[in-house]
């Protein structure tokens, strides 16, 4: 897959952008419902947290089709709009140039759609406070989440977003997510992962396959998209409450082709992510 400014761009990129926005925005609405339902409860922190581990440069690869903003920028903007007074965000990006572009693009996007809520930017890009959004150039594997998200008596709700370049490093990043969700079990996880990359990595190391890796992230329920493209990418949303249990805000998501991984269809997709075609054929007894 060709790389542009540190991110891979392929035929599935536009679908990814659309799905990531749809899931993140639905998640923001679900949390809004939860906050309203349990308002005033001592265990409820009514702040929405959005933690993007791979913020990128803020630009959509579909710019030529008129979509300028990356999904990251779109979901930060919508979260800040949905939660004007109770939002807390962290955007991390390793490449300084990318982060500068991300901030500029987010500023533009917010000014376009949120003129009523002017946002202030510090000219220093390394560590920047935008209201309650902290954008930082650095490696998420060494970022001090304990300091950024101190433990509180109340539970923190929100979403961790992870969209890595397919490399062995991701494995360490998944450990970062696991530590975060152990500490803050109400933070859900939205990620975009390549089954093919994981198969390659886990064959070369003793690391688990993609499904085992996701299971280590302390989420009880996983929704999964169809497999996208040759590299078998999929969008995953990990939650702690069963979608559809007491409210089903995810009907739109189902229409986008997502299934619970525990369903028959979900298990079939997971198998394709876990095993090579050859292994699948062998399991099905088609080869001796």
Where does this chain bind ligand SAM (CB under 6 A)? 6-8, 54, 56, 70, 72, 92-95, 98, 139-141, 163-165, 173
Q: Which is nearer to ligand SAM, 93 or 260 (CB)?
A: 93
The dihedrals phi and psi of 17, each to the nearest 5 degrees, come to: -60, -45
The least distance separating ligand SAM from the CB of residue 121, rounded to whole angstroms, comes to 20
Q: Which residue has the tokens 């542009």?
A: 4
The least distance separating ligand SAM from the CB of residue 87, rounded to whole angstroms, comes to 19
Q: Which is nearer to ligand SAM, 58 or 243 (CB)?
A: 58
- Report in angstroms the alpha-carbon separations of 145 from 53, 102, 140: 11, 21, 9
Q: Which residue has the tokens 């189902």?
A: 254
The least distance separating ligand SAM from the CB of residue 65, rounded to whole angstroms, comes to 15
The least distance separating ligand SAM from the CB of residue 6, rounded to whole angstroms, comes to 4
Q: Which is nearer to ligand SAM, 200 or 254 (CB)?
A: 200
The least distance separating ligand SAM from the CB of residue 139, rounded to whole angstroms, comes to 4
Q: Are 162 and 133 in contact (CB under 8 A)?
A: no
Q: Which is nearer to ligand SAM, 98 or 232 (CB)?
A: 98
The least distance separating ligand SAM from the CB of residue 126, rounded to whole angstroms, comes to 13
Q: Which is nearer to ligand SAM, 54 or 232 (CB)?
A: 54
Q: Which residue has the tokens 């093919």?
A: 196
Q: Which is nearer to ligand SAM, 154 or 165 (CB)?
A: 165
The least distance separating ligand SAM from the CB of residue 251, rounded to whole angstroms, comes to 26
Q: Are 79 and 42 in contact (CB under 8 A)?
A: no
Q: Which is nearer to ligand SAM, 13 or 202 (CB)?
A: 13
Q: Which residue has the tokens 């979901």?
A: 75
Residue nearest to ligand SAM (CB): 56
Strands 133-137 and 155-162 come out as: unpaired
- Report in angstroms the alpha-carbon separations of 204 from 154, 173, 195: 42, 18, 14
Strands 233-239 and 187-194 come out as: antiparallel
Cα radius of gyration rounded to whole Å, the chain: 19
CB burial of residue 114 (10 Å; 0-12, 13-18, 19+): middle
Q: Which is nearer to ligand SAM, 45 or 72 (CB)?
A: 72
Supply 92's token pair. Answer: 């991390």
Q: Which residues contact 172 (CB under 8 A, 6 or more apart)?
A: 141
Backbone CA torsion sign across 276, 6, 143, 157: negative
The least distance separating ligand SAM from the CB of residue 262, rounded to whole angstroms, comes to 28
């Amino acid at each position: 897959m060709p790389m542009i400014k540190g991110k891979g761009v392929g035929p599935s990129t536009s679908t990814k952008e659309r799905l990531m926005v749809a899931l993140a925005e639905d998640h923001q609405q679900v949390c809004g419902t939860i906050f309203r339902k349990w308002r005033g409860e001592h265990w409820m922190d009514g702040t929405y947290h959005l933690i993007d581990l791979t913020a990128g440069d803020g630009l959509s690869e579909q710019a030529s089709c008129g979509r300028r903003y990356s999904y990251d920028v779109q979901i930060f903007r919508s979260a800040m709009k949905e939660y004007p007074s109770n939002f807390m965000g962290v955007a991390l990006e390793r490449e300084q140039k990318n982060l500068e572009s991300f901030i500029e693009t987010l500023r533009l996007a917010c000014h376009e759609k949120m003129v009523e809520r002017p946002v202030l930017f510090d000219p220093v890009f390394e560590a920047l406070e935008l209201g309650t959004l902290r954008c930082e150039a650095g490696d998420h594997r060494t970022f001090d989440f304990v300091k950024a998200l101190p433990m509180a008596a109340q539970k923190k709700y929100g979403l961790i977003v992870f969209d890595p370049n397919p490399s062995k490093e991701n494995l360490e990043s998944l450990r970062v997510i696991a530590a975060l969700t152990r500490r803050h079990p109400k933070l859900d996880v939205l990620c975009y992962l390549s089954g093919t990359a994981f198969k390659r990595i886990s064959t070369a190391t003793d690391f688990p396959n993609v499904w085992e890796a996701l299971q280590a992230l302390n989420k009880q329920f996983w929704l999964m998209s169809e497999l996208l493209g040759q590299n078998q990418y999929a969008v995953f949303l990990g939650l702690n409450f069963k979608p559809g249990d007491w409210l089903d805000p995810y009907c739109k998501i189902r229409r986008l082709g997502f299934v619970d991984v525990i369903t028959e269809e979900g298990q079939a997709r997971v198998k394709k992510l876990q095993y090579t075609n050859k292994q699948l054929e062998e399991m099905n007894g088609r080869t001796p």
